[in-house]
Amino acid sequence: MKLDLVIRELHRSEGELAHLLLRMSERHKGDHETYHVARDLAGWCHDHVRELAEAGKEHGLDLDPSHDVSVAERLREKAAERLGRRSEPGLLLLADLRQLYLAASEVSLDWEMLAQAAQAAKQRDLLALTQRCHPQTLRQLRWANARLKESAPQALLS
Amino acid sequence: MPYVDRIAEPWGTRTPYGPGEPWPVRVDSFLESGLRAQDVERWVQSATILHSNGDGLDIAVKDGRVVGVRGRAQDRVNHGRLGPKDLYGWQAANAPDRLVRPLVRENGRLVETDWDTAMERVAGRARRLLDEQGPSAIGFYTTGQLFLEEYYTLALIAHGGVGTNHLDGNTRLCTATAAAALKESFGCDGQPGSYTDVDHADVIALYGHNVAETQTVLWSRILDRLAGPNPPALVCVDPRETPVSRAAAVHLANRPGTNVALMNGLLHEILANGWIDERYVRDHVVGFEELEKRVRDFPVEKAARICDVPVDALREAARLIGTARRLLSTVLQGFYQAHQATAAAVQVNNVHLVRGMLGRPGCGVLQMNGQPTAQNTRECGADGDLPGFRNWSNDAHVRDLARVWNVDPMDIPHYAPPTHAMQMLRYAEEGSIRFLYVTGTNPAVSLPELVRIRSILGQERLFLVVQDIFLTETAQLADVVLPAATWAEKTGTFTNADRTVHLSEKAVEPPGEARPDLDIFLDFARRLDLRDKDGAPLVKWGDAEGAFEAWKECSRGRPCDYSGLSYARLRGSGGVQWPCDDEHPDGTERLYADGRFWSDPGHCEDYGRDLVTGAPLSDIEYKALNPDGKAIIKAAEYVPPHEEPDGDFPFWLTTGRTIYHFHTRTKTARAPQLQRAAPEPWVEMSPADAARLGFTEGDLLEVATARGAVRARLRVTSMRDGVIFLPFHYGYWDRPDGAGPGESPGRAANELTITQWDPASKQPVFKTAAARVSLVTASSGAPSQAPTTAASRPVSADVPATAGGADAQAEEVMR
């Protein structure tokens, strides 16, 4: 049984996705829909992290139920922003949405793996967990995709 | 002849009637002082324009001037009645400060010029930007107050000619959620119900809809039912006490921002008690299981806790709604301008779908509008949608529109959803929209967070065109101002919230050089030399009737089919409800009577959106969800509001309207009776909050949020504790500083509101913001000047009642 590996990985990647969403929200405060929706969507990740930490106990894992980005990581982010991001807000938004889409895709694949394995192992609780959480990851994914489609023409043609 | 002061008695005299009986006729009229009906030279047919009700009226003309109005007895909407704004509001068009010549900005100042100079400046700048950047530089922001013919022409120019995706109306602020909710539930826009459902209903549920102030004649109809035998029971959802809540069997004054929680609680109770039409659900609906799952864990106790309403009241509301035999529901800004707007409005549709209450007398949903011609912006595509409820993400629909317009489908932007108003402002803020053409609306007062809006509209790099009838706050920021003709000065049609089409005929000449909006659009298209794919002029008509005939062809076979109508057919009629075609020559009273919807994947206007994220569904997702064209039940999770009261800003701020004013008062403040009835802004607060803070009626208060501050006098009313209310009508045009607050304290409610919108409908949130209140100066005993007649009724008996006086006597004739 290597289910713990997937749970641990999901716990990490959900936390990272939350972080991406919150960073995006902060960075695009002037783009109000992005700002508000990204924060709502980060809330879903936090729920998932909590649930994964709970489920991890069954599999011998001791995971943090409230994912928090370390201070060092935040500082690195700030430095990166100062150095490398000087594009227009529209282009920056596209770059962030692109990154978000890819990160959410990884999380989605992890949920899929976990769901398959949980079903094969007849672990009902774990399967139910994936059925609660994975649809929300797909909604996050669709949001990133839709925002990208909406924003690309104006950012690239003006 | 009985005369009534219709400022003091806005709804006039009762004419009681029972269920299923015809609503009695009462003809209201008001003429210029000293005139009698026999002095009037001509009566010219039209309908009302200072709200969305669409009441038929005749315009009185004498010596080439409008001198009064009279309700049309034979009109299906009002049976002769008019509201206060209709009776007195027409006087505004005769105001001496109408715009009568075009203005252009020279050395920072607006100066008068001729039409050729002004239009060449507008078209010249548009042409240069099209060459330089392309259509993404151009945006159009219109209104809910032009005529159908004008919207259709504008939609063709913007979408088919200029080729921009940036086209919207201020209907985004009033009716976008109505359209979005109808698309989500029925696959297509289009009002299912009819005002005549009031005649039959045994329960009427009003969700965030203070109909007494927004649609006075419809409220008269309800009042007449309440005064007659076997009256309906009302359920009212509103944080304020209003004339509706006072007449209601159950009043739910829920905490702002909790409408979805409230609806989920009601739906839980309805499902748990089995108050559902199983056969209807089985035959006509998809998505029921998802709703069951969603509300299973949402008992009324939980909903009551989140909403902070008594659980028994919520249960009683659910019982009334769940056991009604003929249920009519109406929805307006308390839902549309609130947090989770579309999700909440869709749950009202869901109540009707699970109860199978659609398409029969008394069984209807009315997702209302705020403006007289809002419906037409939606139909004609002036809100950015494709005309005729065509689906922008269905290539066959785009091809069909390209056929009607004789353009290449690639010339019609359909790569993404249309750019909504708030996003257009964002693009202007970023500098990628560089030309904004505003018609008949006043964003410098009506949009949220005015400091931001003024700074965007005032940018040097943005070329701002404003077409209006007065020098509004927005016009004062413009590069070119175009003087427009208004109602009674031009001909056209418009459609109300229950799909009733009226013809409004020209009665008098516009003042000075003012021109109908249609003529200005046609001039703009000519100067841009817009062509179809064969090189012929793109816009093929030169007058209103020509535009209407073209629209008939565009709408043929679509849900909003006008092909059976004509000016001749509408002339003398009492209003006709679309669809009106060969099959339905007299129009259609109720949609979906047969449980069949316009929701087949190949036909639907929209594949729907995620109600929380706003992401559009793809055609593949929609086909999987709804392969057979049924109605769609869409469940929604409650999400807490994004801004909630806290230590610094402990109050909920909501904004709204009063019965005597319309929008930014450009017309109603110029009608003396209306202006006197509500001369200045006020702030409402509950008696408990006022007592706790030591405030009394008439105190001058400052209301502040994170965005700004305004001052207004206190009116203590029986509203929900912890909530304050400001009317949104008051701006700056009638103050010395003109365009904005300048150095003086602000008074426009939108100085305070938050820049945020519903992700699905893109309608801004005006009903939930966190605010604080402080005393500026205590009252010397004088009360605030808020009206006493409606929701702002004072708790104190010492406040003199609002009255119109000698020059507000209107005639009422019962038949």
In the 3-class helix/strand/coil scheme, how is B734-746 assigned residue by residue? Answer: CCCCCCCCCCCCE
Q: Do B759 and A33 touch (CB under 8 A)?
A: yes
Percentage of residues of chain B with pLDDT beyond 70: 100
Helix (H) or strand (E) holding A120: helix A89-120
**Would you tell me how many other CB atoms lie within 10 Å of the CB of residue B280?**
18
- pLDDT value of residue A37: 95
The backbone torsions φ and ψ at residue B214, rounded to the nearest 5 degrees and listed phi first, read -85, -35
Burial (CB count within 10 angstroms: exposed 0-12, middle 13-18, buried 19+), residue B236: buried
Q: What is the dihedral of CA B659, B660, B661, B665, to 10 degrees?
A: -170
- Find where tokens 């499902």 sit: B271
- Rounded distance, CA B161 to CA B787, Å? 48
Cα B561 to the center of its chain, rounded Å: 22
Q: Do B416 and A32 touch (CB under 8 A)?
A: no
At residue B815 the predicted structure's pLDDT band, cuts being 50, 70 and 90, is confident
Whether residue B682 has pLDDT greater than 80: yes
At residue B737 the predicted structure's pLDDT band, cuts being 50, 70 and 90, is confident
Whether residue B211 has pLDDT greater than 60: yes
Residues of B in Cβ contact (< 8 Å) with A37: 612-614, 759
- Rounded distance, CA A158 to CA B679, Å? 45
* Chain B nearest CA to A146, separation (Å): 6
Which three-class secondary structure state does DSSP give residue A55?
Answer: helix
Q: pLDDT, tens digit, for every residue of B290-337?
A: 999 999 999 999 999 999 999 999 999 999 999 999 999 999 999 999
Q: What is the CA radius of gyration of chain A?
A: 17
- Rounded distance, CA B424 to CA B431, Å? 10
B295 Cβ neighbours under 8 A, 6+ residues apart: B264, B265, B267, B268, B271, B635
Considering only CA atoms, which of B399, B395, B412, B378 is closest in space to residue B560?
B378
Considering only CA atoms, which of B236, B327, B323, B324 is closest in space to residue B273?
B323
Lowest-confidence pick of B432-446, B564-578, B738-752, B769-783 = B738-752
Residue B260 in contact with residue B344, Cβ under 8 Å? Answer: yes
Strands B682-685 and B709-716, bridge-based pairing: parallel
Considering only CA atoms, which of B276, B375, B281, B368 is closest in space to residue B329?
B368
Lowest-confidence pick of A86-100, B249-263, B741-755, B772-786 = A86-100
| Higher pLDDT, residue A73 or B415 | B415
Whether residue A68 has pLDDT greater than 80: no
Which three-class secondary structure state does DSSP give residue B651?
Answer: strand
Residue B237 in contact with residue B208, Cβ under 8 Å? Answer: yes
Enter the tokens of residue B438: 């505003």
Q: pLDDT, tens digit, for every residue of B36-85?
A: 999 999 999 999 999 999 999 999 999 999 999 999 999 999 999 999 99
Residues of A in Cβ contact (< 8 Å) with B614: 33, 37, 143, 146
Residue B468 in contact with residue B475, Cβ under 8 Å? Answer: yes
- pLDDT value of residue B105: 98
Which three-class secondary structure state does DSSP give residue B386?
Answer: strand
- pLDDT value of residue A158: 83
Q: Which residues of B touch A (CB under 8 A)?
A: 133-134, 136-137, 165, 415-417, 419, 422-423, 426-427, 429-430, 432, 610, 612-616, 639, 642, 755-757, 759
How far is residue B719 from each of residues A62, A98, B698, B750, measured CA to CA in Å? 50, 47, 17, 21
Q: pLDDT, tens digit, for every residue of B587-625?
A: 999 999 999 999 999 999 999 999 999 999 999 999 999
Enter the tokens of residue B281: 């659900």
Lowest-confidence pick of A54-68, B55-69, B365-379 = A54-68
Q: Do A36 and B427 touch (CB under 8 A)?
A: no
Q: What is the dihedral of CA B338, B343, B349, B351, to 10 degrees?
A: -100
What phi-psi label fits residue B566: left (phi over 0), alpha (psi between -120 and 50 degrees) or beta? beta
Nearest residue of chain A to residue B759 (CA atoms) = A33
- pLDDT value of residue A66: 84
Residue B637 in contact with residue B294, Cβ under 8 Å? Answer: yes
Residue B739 in contact with residue B473, Cβ under 8 Å? Answer: yes
Strands laid side by side in the B809-814 sheet: B3-5, B809-814, B26-31, B65-71, B56-62, B42-47
Number of residues written out for chain A: 158
Of B133, B165, B639, the CB nearest to A158: B133
Residues of A in Cβ contact (< 8 Å) with B427: 154, 158
Strands B327-331 and B203-207, bridge-based pairing: parallel
Residue B387 in contact with residue B418, Cβ under 8 Å? Answer: no
Strands B463-468 and B435-439, bridge-based pairing: parallel
At residue B401 the predicted structure's pLDDT band, cuts being 50, 70 and 90, is very high
Helix (H) or strand (E) holding B548: helix B544-555
Enter the tokens of residue B19: 């269920």
A5/B contact by beta carbon, under 8 A: no
Residues of A in Cβ contact (< 8 Å) with B759: 33, 36-37
B726 Cβ neighbours under 8 A, 6+ residues apart: B653, B654, B655, B681, B682, B683, B684, B703, B710, B712, B749, B752
* Chain B nearest CA to A153, separation (Å): 8
Start-end of H helices in B164-258:
176-186, 211-214, 216-227, 243-247
Enter the tokens of residue A144: 């990133």
Nearest residue of chain A to residue B420 (CA atoms) = A150
The backbone torsions φ and ψ at residue B44, rounded to the nearest 5 degrees and listed phi first, read -120, 130
Of B426, B642, B759, the CB nearest to A31: B426
Residue B812 in contact with residue B26, Cβ under 8 Å? Answer: yes
Cα A102 to the center of its chain, rounded Å: 9
Q: How far apart are the first and last CA of chain B?
A: 12
At residue A71 the predicted structure's pLDDT band, cuts being 50, 70 and 90, is very low
- Rounded distance, CA B728 to CA B752, Å? 10
Q: Do B430 and A89 touch (CB under 8 A)?
A: yes
A32/B contact by beta carbon, under 8 A: yes
Q: pLDDT, tens digit, for every residue of B249-302?
A: 999 999 999 999 999 999 999 999 999 999 999 999 999 999 999 999 999 999
Which three-class secondary structure state does DSSP give residue A109?
Answer: helix
ipTM of the complex model: 0.92
- pLDDT value of residue A75: 47
The backbone torsions φ and ψ at residue B276, rounded to the nearest 5 degrees and listed phi first, read -125, 155
- Rounded distance, CA B215 to CA B368, Å? 10
Q: Do A139 and B612 touch (CB under 8 A)?
A: yes
Q: Do B613 and A142 touch (CB under 8 A)?
A: yes
- Rounded distance, CA B694 to CA B761, Å? 41
How far is residue B590 from each of residues B186, B580, B655, measured CA to CA in Å? 14, 12, 33
Residues of A in Cβ contact (< 8 Å) with B756: 32, 36
- pLDDT value of residue B1: 62
Q: pLDDT, tens digit, for every residue of B425-455?
A: 999 999 999 999 999 999 999 999 999 999 9
Average pLDDT, chain B: 97
Residues of B in Cβ contact (< 8 Å) with A32: 422, 426, 755-757
Helix (H) or strand (E) holding B101: none
- pLDDT value of residue A65: 87
From the candidates B165, B427, B430, which should be mutated to test the interface with A, based on the most A CB atoms within 10 A?
A: B430
From the candidates B167, B296, B426, which should be mutated to test the interface with A, based on the most A CB atoms within 10 A?
A: B426
Residues of A in Cβ contact (< 8 Å) with B610: 139, 142-143
At residue A85 the predicted structure's pLDDT band, cuts being 50, 70 and 90, is very low
A110/B contact by beta carbon, under 8 A: no
Q: Do A32 and B757 touch (CB under 8 A)?
A: yes
Q: pLDDT, tens digit, for every residue of A108-134?
A: 999 999 999 999 999 999 999 999 999
What is the dihedral sign for C-alpha B591, B596, B599, B603?
negative
Chain A residues 46-85 with a CB less than 8 Å from chain B: none
Nearest residue of chain A to residue B432 (CA atoms) = A158
Q: Do A139 and B422 touch (CB under 8 A)?
A: no
With helix as H, strand as E and coil as C, how does B168-182 read? EEHHHHCCHHHHHHH
Residues of B in Cβ contact (< 8 Å) with A146: 613-616
At residue A69 the predicted structure's pLDDT band, cuts being 50, 70 and 90, is low
